[in-house]
Amino acid sequence: MAEKVVILGGGPGGYVAAIRLRQLGFDTTLVEKNRVGGVCLNVGCIPTKALYKSAEIYHHAKNLESYGIDFQGEAKPNPQKIVERKNQVVDTLVTGVEKLLSSAGVKVVHGEGKLLTKNTMAVGDEELSFDKLIIATGSSSFIPPIKGVDLEGIVTSTELLDFTAIPEELIVVGGGVIGMEFAGIFASFGSKVTVLEAMPSILPGVDGEIVKRLKPLLKKKGIDVKTSMMVQEIHKEGAKLTVSMEGKKGKEIVSGNQVLIATGRRPNISGLGLEELGVETNRKGIVVNESFQTSIENIYAIGDVNGKWLLAHAASAQGEYVAELMAGKEASIGQFVPGCVFLFPEVAGVGYTEEQLKEEGKEYLTSKFMLGANGKALTMGEGEGLVKVISDKEYKIIGVHIMGAHASDLIHEGLLACEMGLHVEDLKHVIHAHPTLAEAFFESAMGLKGEAVHMVQSRRSL
């Protein structure tokens, strides 16, 4: 008889694990309280990228003259149609995941699951038994204890996805990936956006030089970023929301029509019966070992709920890895996880940042190729940005950071270089098509040894 595995949570970690387990011959049941696809597909990665695309098209429509095109009308964003398009994209993909699960033979049970023992779970009135369990319950928006945070007009990213009007002034509390992406989207739609970040810099984890070069570009696009700002209180004055905060220069006040709370996410671990069963947890989520095994041998935890990487693609990779471990295969999982931020321009990175290397006291080399010198970028009207490659002293690629058009696509050559431990010499004879944005990565990598043909070299290095 096939071994029974239950997966609690049908997001990008859970549903991928379920399908892979069926491929490997397990009796697999997926428990999901909402629609399959999780936060990423329903109220996260996918819907925000649909809004991002609408914002990008609107931006291009406003700048047609720069491409030599005359247009007599006036392009205007239509919130209802934008949201309808977003919903259509989401519905199409959710339906696709449902079909994948069905065709794989995964049993899907809808409801909230709670552990009874290490081998049984209650889902409503139904009791499921299993040999092994994968917890993939994801995370939820964290709402900080700010006075007035429950006032009308204050929303999380989930509510803002279904906006009915474009706010004249949007205040974003939190300068992480979620906050900055919404800031970019609504600034493109015409909102005056103010971002309030408690830390000294926005986008923690992103290479510091990239952030430094990004900030003036954000300002040009109508995004005012205020860092080292502790929000103290929000109160309503007529139709406006006023946010009181304190920074290095003392107390400040900013007003807007709407406030987005984007102060991070917390793992969904309450109500699952973990404490009663003795599953170890901490502030970040469920504690797991290198195999994503919890303190109870037959129970695993993947994705946001274990707090390692709050990224959909990391959850999916962990899901496949655990499935193969269960099947007794020699499973492996990538050591490098890329991160992407969908702004204007896009930002993406993988591997070490300069800040991490300095903190660890490691020697390194850097090379930068500016997209303003890339033919494809200029033809696209997207000359802002750069590709930065970091190597160790032996010229092994250990970090790649990109700001510019299609950075989220370009990063994967850098990911492959880092994951495979490639050196500059390994890339030297790899022919890149011309004209493409990918040439910028090649030039930046060759610049590490002073061999980039299309990069101005200092006379001292010649």
Catalytic residues, which ones?
434
Q: How far apart are CA 256 and CA 252, in angstroms?
A: 14
**Segments in 133-224 forming alpha helices (H):** 157-160, 177-189, 208-220
**Segments in 299-437 forming alpha helices (H):** 312-326, 354-359, 375-380, 407-419, 424-427
Q: How far apart are CA 316 and CA 195, in angstroms?
A: 31
Residue among 1, 8, 11 nearest 46 (CA): 11
Report residue 9 as tokens: 């949570």
Report residue 289 as tokens: 């070992």
**Neighbour count for residue 430 (Cβ, 10 Å):** 10
CB-hemisphere CA count at 13 Å for 419? Answer: 14
What order of strands is seen across the sheet that includes strand 27-32?
A: 107-110, 27-32, 4-8, 132-135, 299-301
Report residue 448 as tokens: 């590490």
Residue among 122, 139, 138, 141 nearest 130 (CA): 122
**Bridge partner residues of 122 (DSSP):** 114, 127
Residues 6+ apart with CB under 8 A from 64: 70, 71
**Segments in 190-295 forming alpha helices (H):** 208-220, 274-277
DSSP 240: E
